[in-house]
Amino acid sequence: MATRPAAHLAARRNARKLRTTSRWSAFVPRDSGYRLFSDDTFQEASAIVAACQDIYTRHAHEIGLRPVNKHYFYNILTDDDLRAHPILADFALSAAVTETVTGYLGQVPRLHSLGVFYSAVNDTIDGSQMYHVDGDALNQVKCFINIWDVGPGSGGLTFFPKTLTSRPLRHGGLLKTLRDYDVYRTVSEKHAIIANGPAGSGLFVDTSRCLHQGSRATERPRLVFQFQYVPRPDALPAYPAKRVVKGGHLHVTRGLLEGIKLSEPNALMFVD
């Protein structure tokens, strides 16, 4: 277990080695805390888009029928979908992704969660639709891949780089949502970046250090594939939650991945 001190030190040594040898290790700059990518950056993009579109088609008839934790942003991916579409776990644990995240976090991190998130058309500004940083880790990397084209009115993830997310704006990492008005008094709205782009494009972002909001989908729904890496040791439980929240992410464990063929021989190093 990498949560033991010796394993943790070994993980840091491995990360240092990797950071000098991988072309992906500086893909997310450590000062800005994000990297947008286009639809031709990853060769897997079109297969990921096709898989998530298939998952959406399979669940479309249930959308809006079941109560979910956040009506404006919820996961439709099930364990069975993940097994039916191995490309999703395989990409999240691919060399390019793990080297990107390891390079940014400076240690061998843990893949905590993944999901295919649907943002229904809505006119609320609530919860994670308000500016916030994620208080579940001191730093982390989330990847968002647009499955449908995202443009004005789709509620694309909107954020400020780490360099502009001051400590007071982060409230020292403590969970707090801010009104636009209060944010824009400190940092100009013109510096906000929106992860708009065609299907297959996306973003890596440290959501613990970059102030962000999303899912203000006032005109059209949004579908994204999202996964989350956290540093070790971390405060998040590395075991499945007892109470599963409807619409919440899938918690990644070795059990969840059982039977899924992963191309990277060392992939399970990133899963507890």
201 vs 207 by CB, closer to ligand AKG: 207
CA-nearest of 86, 95, 109 to 8 is 109
State how far the Cα of 252 lies from the Cα of 64, in Å rounded to an integer: 25
Q: How far is CA 7 from CA 90, 156, 252, 269, in A?
A: 24, 38, 20, 11
CB burial string 164-198: b at 16+ within 10 A, e below: bbeeebbeebeeebbeeeebeeebeeeebbbbbbe
Residue closer to ligand AKG, measured from CB, 2 or 150: 150
Nearer to ligand AKG by C-beta: 11 or 211?
Answer: 211
Tell the smallest beta-carbon distance from residue 268 to ligand AKG (Å): 25
Beta strands in the chain (DSSP E): 34-37, 74-75, 110-119, 141-146, 158-159, 193-194, 202-205, 212-213, 222-230, 250-251
Distance of CA 88 to the CA centre of its chain: 13
Residues making contact with ligand AKG (CB under 6 A):
73, 119, 128, 134, 142, 157, 207, 212, 214-215
In the bound state, the residue with its beta carbon closest to ligand AKG is: 214
We find the least distance from the C-beta atom of residue 157 to ligand AKG, in angstroms, to be: 4
CB of 215 to ligand AKG, least distance (A): 3
C-alpha distances in Å from residue 257, one per residue of 90, 120, 155, 271:
10, 29, 31, 9
Of the pair 53, 128, the CB lying nearest ligand AKG is at 128
CB of 207 to ligand AKG, least distance (A): 4
| Residues facing 158 on adjacent strands | 194, 213
Tell me whether residue 139 or residue 215 sits nearer to ligand AKG (CB atom): 215
According to DSSP, the residues that pair with 161 across neighbouring strands are none
Q: Which is nearer to ligand AKG, 25 or 119 (CB)?
A: 119
Minimum gap (Å) between residue 217 Cβ and ligand AKG: 8
**Least Å from the CB of residue 36 to ligand AKG:** 14
